[in-house]
Amino acid sequence: MPFSLPNLPYATNALEPFIDTMTMEIHHGRHHKAYVDNLNKVLEGQAALASKSIEQLLREIAQVPEAIRQPVINNGGGHANHAMFWEIMAGGAGGEPSGPLADDIKATFTDFATFKAQIKDAGVKRFGSGWSWLVLADGKLKILSSANQDSPYMSGQAPIMGVDVWEHAYYLKYQNKRPDYLDAWWSVVNWKVIAERYAKAKAGKL
Ligand code: MN
Protein backbone atom coordinates (compact mmCIF):
# COMPACT_ATOMS: atom_id res chain seq x y z
CA MET A 1 0.00 0.00 0.00
CA PRO A 2 1.60 3.25 -1.11
CA PHE A 3 -0.05 5.63 1.35
CA SER A 4 -0.39 4.92 5.06
CA LEU A 5 -2.07 6.47 8.06
CA PRO A 6 0.53 8.39 10.09
CA ASN A 7 0.52 7.85 13.84
CA LEU A 8 -0.67 10.77 15.93
CA PRO A 9 2.37 12.56 17.38
CA TYR A 10 0.67 12.47 20.83
CA ALA A 11 -1.94 10.47 22.73
CA THR A 12 -5.60 10.82 21.75
CA ASN A 13 -6.29 12.59 25.07
CA ALA A 14 -3.40 15.04 24.71
CA LEU A 15 -5.55 17.90 23.39
CA GLU A 16 -8.12 17.75 26.20
CA PRO A 17 -10.10 19.70 27.21
CA PHE A 18 -10.08 21.66 23.94
CA ILE A 19 -10.44 18.65 21.66
CA ASP A 20 -11.90 15.60 23.35
CA THR A 21 -10.47 12.08 23.26
CA MET A 22 -13.38 10.43 21.45
CA THR A 23 -13.31 13.05 18.69
CA MET A 24 -9.60 12.42 18.22
CA GLU A 25 -10.05 8.64 18.15
CA ILE A 26 -12.81 8.78 15.53
CA HIS A 27 -11.28 11.63 13.54
CA HIS A 28 -7.86 10.02 13.21
CA GLY A 29 -8.68 6.32 13.45
CA ARG A 30 -11.76 6.31 11.24
CA HIS A 31 -12.07 9.48 9.12
CA HIS A 32 -8.39 9.91 8.25
CA LYS A 33 -7.95 6.14 7.89
CA ALA A 34 -10.86 6.04 5.43
CA TYR A 35 -9.26 8.75 3.28
CA VAL A 36 -6.01 6.76 3.14
CA ASP A 37 -7.75 3.44 2.44
CA ASN A 38 -9.95 4.95 -0.28
CA LEU A 39 -7.02 6.77 -1.89
CA ASN A 40 -5.11 3.49 -2.11
CA LYS A 41 -8.14 1.79 -3.61
CA VAL A 42 -8.63 4.51 -6.22
CA LEU A 43 -4.94 4.34 -7.21
CA GLU A 44 -4.85 0.55 -7.62
CA GLY A 45 -3.13 -0.17 -10.94
CA GLN A 46 -1.80 3.42 -11.13
CA ALA A 47 1.80 2.80 -10.06
CA ALA A 48 3.17 6.09 -11.39
CA LEU A 49 0.61 8.12 -9.44
CA ALA A 50 0.81 5.96 -6.33
CA SER A 51 4.58 6.40 -6.11
CA LYS A 52 4.36 10.19 -5.78
CA SER A 53 4.36 11.93 -2.42
CA ILE A 54 0.88 13.05 -1.41
CA GLU A 55 1.91 16.69 -1.89
CA GLN A 56 3.24 16.03 -5.39
CA LEU A 57 0.14 14.04 -6.31
CA LEU A 58 -2.03 17.06 -5.37
CA ARG A 59 0.23 19.68 -6.95
CA GLU A 60 0.09 17.66 -10.16
CA ILE A 61 -3.63 16.91 -9.92
CA ALA A 62 -4.12 17.81 -13.61
CA GLN A 63 -2.06 14.73 -14.50
CA VAL A 64 -4.55 12.43 -12.77
CA PRO A 65 -6.97 10.87 -15.29
CA GLU A 66 -10.33 12.58 -15.22
CA ALA A 67 -12.16 9.33 -14.39
CA ILE A 68 -10.45 9.14 -10.96
CA ARG A 69 -9.55 12.80 -10.40
CA GLN A 70 -12.42 13.71 -8.05
CA PRO A 71 -11.89 10.72 -5.72
CA VAL A 72 -8.17 11.55 -5.66
CA ILE A 73 -9.00 15.17 -4.77
CA ASN A 74 -11.38 14.03 -2.01
CA ASN A 75 -9.29 11.27 -0.48
CA GLY A 76 -5.81 12.52 -1.34
CA GLY A 77 -6.76 15.98 -0.07
CA GLY A 78 -8.26 14.36 3.01
CA HIS A 79 -5.02 12.49 3.66
CA ALA A 80 -2.75 15.53 3.17
CA ASN A 81 -4.98 17.91 5.12
CA HIS A 82 -5.26 15.62 8.14
CA ALA A 83 -1.57 14.68 8.17
CA MET A 84 -0.86 18.43 8.40
CA PHE A 85 -3.60 18.99 11.00
CA TRP A 86 -2.24 16.43 13.53
CA GLU A 87 1.24 17.81 13.13
CA ILE A 88 0.36 21.44 13.84
CA MET A 89 -1.38 20.69 17.14
CA ALA A 90 0.01 19.65 20.53
CA GLY A 91 -1.01 19.46 24.17
CA GLY A 92 0.05 22.42 26.30
CA ALA A 93 0.61 24.47 23.17
CA GLY A 94 -1.00 27.72 22.00
CA GLY A 95 0.32 31.18 22.72
CA GLU A 96 1.82 33.25 19.94
CA PRO A 97 4.36 32.56 17.20
CA SER A 98 7.82 34.13 17.25
CA GLY A 99 10.53 34.80 14.69
CA PRO A 100 10.00 35.43 10.98
CA LEU A 101 6.51 33.89 11.01
CA ALA A 102 5.36 36.30 13.71
CA ASP A 103 6.96 39.25 11.91
CA ASP A 104 5.34 38.36 8.59
CA ILE A 105 1.92 37.72 10.17
CA LYS A 106 2.07 41.19 11.69
CA ALA A 107 3.30 42.78 8.46
CA THR A 108 0.54 41.09 6.44
CA PHE A 109 -2.46 41.16 8.79
CA THR A 110 -1.69 44.23 11.00
CA ASP A 111 -1.42 42.27 14.24
CA PHE A 112 -1.85 38.79 15.71
CA ALA A 113 -5.40 39.45 16.93
CA THR A 114 -6.52 40.48 13.44
CA PHE A 115 -4.87 37.41 11.97
CA LYS A 116 -6.73 35.15 14.44
CA ALA A 117 -10.02 36.91 13.73
CA GLN A 118 -9.57 36.39 9.98
CA ILE A 119 -8.77 32.68 10.33
CA LYS A 120 -11.87 32.29 12.50
CA ASP A 121 -14.00 34.28 10.09
CA ALA A 122 -12.90 32.15 7.12
CA GLY A 123 -13.80 29.02 9.11
CA VAL A 124 -17.14 30.30 10.34
CA LYS A 125 -18.19 31.50 6.88
CA ARG A 126 -17.23 28.27 5.09
CA PHE A 127 -20.70 26.87 4.38
CA GLY A 128 -20.86 23.12 4.93
CA SER A 129 -17.58 21.25 5.26
CA GLY A 130 -14.09 22.53 4.62
CA TRP A 131 -10.98 24.15 6.01
CA SER A 132 -9.70 27.59 6.98
CA TRP A 133 -6.09 28.13 5.85
CA LEU A 134 -3.00 30.23 6.15
CA VAL A 135 -1.12 29.63 2.91
CA LEU A 136 1.94 30.95 1.14
CA ALA A 137 0.78 32.06 -2.30
CA ASP A 138 3.22 33.73 -4.72
CA GLY A 139 5.55 34.44 -1.82
CA LYS A 140 2.86 36.09 0.30
CA LEU A 141 0.86 34.96 3.33
CA LYS A 142 -2.83 34.70 2.63
CA ILE A 143 -5.93 33.50 4.53
CA LEU A 144 -8.58 31.56 2.65
CA SER A 145 -11.02 28.71 3.07
CA SER A 146 -11.58 25.65 0.93
CA ALA A 147 -14.57 23.35 0.48
CA ASN A 148 -14.63 19.66 1.38
CA GLN A 149 -11.07 18.26 1.31
CA ASP A 150 -9.76 20.53 -1.43
CA SER A 151 -6.06 21.09 -0.85
CA PRO A 152 -4.21 24.40 -1.38
CA TYR A 153 -1.50 22.36 -3.13
CA MET A 154 -3.89 21.91 -6.06
CA SER A 155 -3.77 25.64 -6.79
CA GLY A 156 -0.03 26.02 -6.27
CA GLN A 157 -0.31 27.31 -2.71
CA ALA A 158 1.64 25.97 0.25
CA PRO A 159 -0.52 25.19 3.32
CA ILE A 160 1.30 26.69 6.32
CA MET A 161 -1.54 25.85 8.71
CA GLY A 162 -5.17 24.83 8.40
CA VAL A 163 -8.05 24.21 10.75
CA ASP A 164 -10.61 21.54 9.99
CA VAL A 165 -14.17 22.90 10.14
CA TRP A 166 -15.98 19.71 9.17
CA GLU A 167 -18.57 18.85 11.83
CA HIS A 168 -16.67 15.60 12.51
CA ALA A 169 -13.85 17.76 13.91
CA TYR A 170 -15.94 19.31 16.69
CA TYR A 171 -19.55 18.11 16.86
CA LEU A 172 -19.27 15.72 19.86
CA LYS A 173 -18.00 18.48 22.14
CA TYR A 174 -19.20 21.70 20.52
CA GLN A 175 -22.29 20.51 18.57
CA ASN A 176 -23.36 23.34 16.24
CA LYS A 177 -21.08 25.92 17.90
CA ARG A 178 -18.31 26.06 15.30
CA PRO A 179 -17.18 29.53 16.48
CA ASP A 180 -16.56 28.17 20.02
CA TYR A 181 -14.47 25.31 18.61
CA LEU A 182 -12.46 27.78 16.54
CA ASP A 183 -11.82 29.93 19.65
CA ALA A 184 -10.70 26.89 21.67
CA TRP A 185 -8.51 25.59 18.86
CA TRP A 186 -5.88 28.32 19.43
CA SER A 187 -5.02 26.61 22.73
CA VAL A 188 -3.64 23.55 20.91
CA VAL A 189 -1.83 25.27 18.04
CA ASN A 190 1.81 24.22 17.79
CA TRP A 191 3.56 27.38 16.59
CA LYS A 192 6.98 25.75 16.55
CA VAL A 193 5.89 23.27 13.85
CA ILE A 194 4.01 25.95 11.92
CA ALA A 195 7.10 28.19 11.92
CA GLU A 196 9.09 25.24 10.51
CA ARG A 197 6.48 24.73 7.80
CA TYR A 198 6.67 28.43 6.94
CA ALA A 199 10.46 28.30 6.61
CA LYS A 200 10.15 25.22 4.38
CA ALA A 201 7.47 26.85 2.25
CA LYS A 202 9.62 29.95 1.72
CA ALA A 203 12.45 27.65 0.63
CA GLY A 204 10.07 25.99 -1.84
CA LYS A 205 10.27 22.71 0.10
CA LEU A 206 6.81 22.27 1.60
MN1 MN B 1 -11.40 16.05 9.41
Residue 1 has pLDDT above 80, yes or no: no
SS3 of 25-75: HHHHHHHHHHHHHHHHHHCCCCHHHHCCCHHHHHHCHHHCCHHHHHHHHHH
Instruction: Give distance in angstroms: CA of 79 to centre of ligand 1.
Output: 9
Looking at residue 83, what is its pLDDT? Answer: 98
* High-pLDDT (> 90) share of the chain, %: 99
Instruction: Give distance in angstroms: CA of 149 to centre of ligand 1.
Output: 8
Looking at residue 136, what is its pLDDT? Answer: 98
Instruction: Give distance in angstroms: CA of 178 to centre of ligand 1.
Output: 14
Widest CA span in the chain? 50
Instruction: Give distance in angstroms: CA of 11 to centre of ligand 1.
Output: 17
Instruction: Give distance in angstroms: CA of 134 to centre of ligand 1.
Output: 17
CA angle in degrees (0–180, nearest 5) for 161-122-78: 50
Cα dihedral sign, 166-121-94-202: positive
Residue 34 has a CB neighbour count (10 Å cut-off) of 14
| Overall average pLDDT of the 24-34 stretch | 98
Tens digit of pLDDT for each residue in 48-93? Answer: 999 999 999 999 999 999 999 999 999 999 999 999 999 999 999 9
Instruction: Give distance in angstroms: CA of 174 to centre of ligand 1.
Output: 15
Do 186 and 88 contact (CB within 8 A), yes or no?
Answer: no
